[in-house]
Amino acid sequence: MAKEYAFEWIERNGNRLIQISDAIWEYAELGLMEYKSSELLADELERHGFRVERGVAGMPTALVATWGGGKPVIGIMGEYDALPGLSQKVSPRREPLKPGAPGHGCGHNIHGTSGMAAAIAVKIAMEKSGVSGTVKFFGCPAEENFSGKVFMVRDGVFDGVDAVLSHHPGTMNAATLKSSLAINSAKFHFYGRASHAGASPEEGRSALDAVELMNIGVEFMREHISQDARIHYVIERGGEQPNVVPEYARCWYYVRAPEREQVEQIYGWVVDIAKGAALMTQTLLKVEFVEGIYNLIPNRVLAELVVKNMREVGLPEYSEEDLRFAEEVAKTIPREAKINQLRKSGRPGWEKLIDKLIDDEVPDPWGEGEVSHGSTDVADVSWQAPTLEFSTAAWVLGTPGHSWQSTAQSAAGIGHKSLIFASKVLAAAVLDLLAQPEILERAKREHRERLAGRTYKPPIPPDHKPPLNAWGE
C-alpha cells in the first residue's frame, strides 16, 4: 500500500514536477553556480517538511534534505548542473536559445527533480503507511566538471547512509552492472621568459615549447599503459602572437583508468613527463590538481530491485505529439551513429533496437565485469555504501549525450514522461529498502564482497577546496 500512496502523490503533482524540471532547464546554470536550481529544490523540500541543510561541503549549491529518524537511512541523489555551449530551444532542429550559452545536455534538470520528487513521495508514503526509517535527498552540484560529490564524501556528508539510489536520464530503461573509469584532472602551468621571437629568440624561454614537449611525451607513453586507460588534453593557453616567445602556457589533462591505483600510477608518469618538459625548455612548472574520482562499485541486488520496480510501474505511454517530436529528432541522428552507440552499450539483443524510436523494454541488468569508459562522481559514493544510478528513456535511441538533441528532449514530452516514470521507480525502490531489511542486508553483503577489503582514501587533498570562482577566470 505504501507504494500506491507514493504513486498517487507523484501523479497528482505531476504538473508541478514538470514545472520544476522545466524551470531548472531554463536556468541552465553551470557547475557550482546552480543557485536558482538548488534553491528551487531546497524550498520545495522544506515546504514538504524536510529539514534542509544548505551549503554543505563548502559548496553554496550543495544541500542535504532529511525526513524521518533512525535506521535504515536511504539516500537519493539529484544533480542540476548544465553544460557550456548547449543552449537549445525545445525544437527538433538546432536552434540555440542564446548562442554559446549553457544548456541541459545531460538532462540534469530531470535528474534533480526526479530525486526530489521521489524523496517527497517516500515521505508521504511513510507517514500514511507507518514505514519507519530516514530518507535523505542529496543535492549534488557540479557533476559535469568539478565532481561535487567527491567533496561531499570527503567531508562526511554521506556518513551513516545504508544505501543510495540515483536516476539519470538516458536513451534506455536500464540498471547496469558496469563499473566506470577512475580519473584525475590537472592543469599544467609552464612559466618561461618572453622575448622578440625574430630579433632575440635566444633571450626567450618558450612555455609553449614545454607544453608541446609534454604532449609529445604523453603520446609516446600511450603505448605502454592499459588499453582501457584514457588520456585527453587541451591547450588552454599557448601564447599571444607569433613574434613573442610565449612566457606562459597551460594545458589541461584528464587521466582515466579502470582502477584508482592505475590512475595514480599513470598520473605520476604524466607529472614526470611534465617535469622533463620543463627541464628541457628551462621553464618553471606548476601542477594544479583539479579533481579526482574513483571507479564505480556496482551492486546487483540494487540493480535487480530497480528493474523489478520498473516493470511493476510500467513504461510510459506517449502522445502523438510526443512521438512526432521524437521522430523529427531521430532524423537528425545518423543511422550509423545510432548503431555504434547501441553496439557500445553491450546490451544483450541490442540489434533489436536499431529500428526502434524509443526504448520500449526493461532488460535484465547486464555488464558484469565490464567497464564503461566514462567517469562519474557517483563512484565515490559507491565506496561508502551500496549505490546504484539507473537510467530511463528520456531521449530517442541513438541520441548522443551532451548534445543539442538531448537538451531539446530534456524539456519535451519524452523527457517529462521519463521524469514521472523515474520518480515512481525511485520511490518504489526506496520504500522496498525501508520496509524489507533482508533486501538491504543482501545489498550490503554484496557491497562488502565487491570491496574485498579495499578502503577509500579521498582522491583530493584535505585542503583542496571547490573552485567556486572557476567560471570567473
CA distances from residue 226 to 181, 216, 234, 266 in whole angstroms, order as listed: 12, 18, 22, 9
Predicted local confidence at residue 341, as pLDDT:
96
Model pLDDT, residue 136: 98
Other CB atoms within 10 Å distance of the CB of residue 469: 8
Q: What is the CATH number of domain 182-294?
A: 3.30.70.360
Q: Assess contact for 69 and 123: CB atoms under 8 A.
A: no
pTM metric for this prediction: 0.94
Quick check: 366 and 173 in contact, CB under 8 A?
Answer: no
**Cell 524551470 appears where?**
23
Residue 373 confidence (pLDDT): 87
Positive or negative: CA dihedral 13, 16, 21, 24:
negative
- By C-alpha distance, which of 286, 95, 67, 302 is closest to 191? 286
- With beta carbons less than 8 A apart as the criterion, state whether 288 and 401 touch: no
| Chain centroid offset of residue 169 CA | 10
CATH class of 2-178+295-451: alpha beta
User: Along the 473 residues of the chain, how does pLDDT read in single tens digits?
Assistant: 899 999 999 999 999 999 999 999 999 999 999 999 999 999 999 999 999 999 999 999 999 999 999 999 999 999 999 999 999 999 999 999 999 999 999 999 999 999 999 999 999 999 999 999 999 999 999 999 899 999 999 999 999 999 999 999 999 999 999 999 999 999 999 999 999 999 999 999 999 999 999 999 999 999 999 999 999 999 999 999 999 999 999 999 999 999 999 999 999 999 999 999 999 999 999 999 999 999 999 999 999 999 999 999 999 999 999 999 999 999 999 999 999 999 999 999 999 999 999 999 999 999 999 999 889 999 999 999 999 999 999 999 999 999 999 999 999 999 999 999 999 999 999 999 999 999 999 999 999 999 999 999 999 999 999 999 877 64
Across the strands, what pairs with 60? Answer: none
Residues 207 and 213: beta-carbon distance below 8 Å: no
Query: CA 469, CA 473: separation in Å to the nearest integer?
Result: 7
The residue extents of the domains of the chain are 2-178+295-451, 182-294
Pairwise CA distance, residues 393 & 418, whole Å? 6
Instruction: Give 416's Cβ-side CA count (13 Å radius).
Output: 23
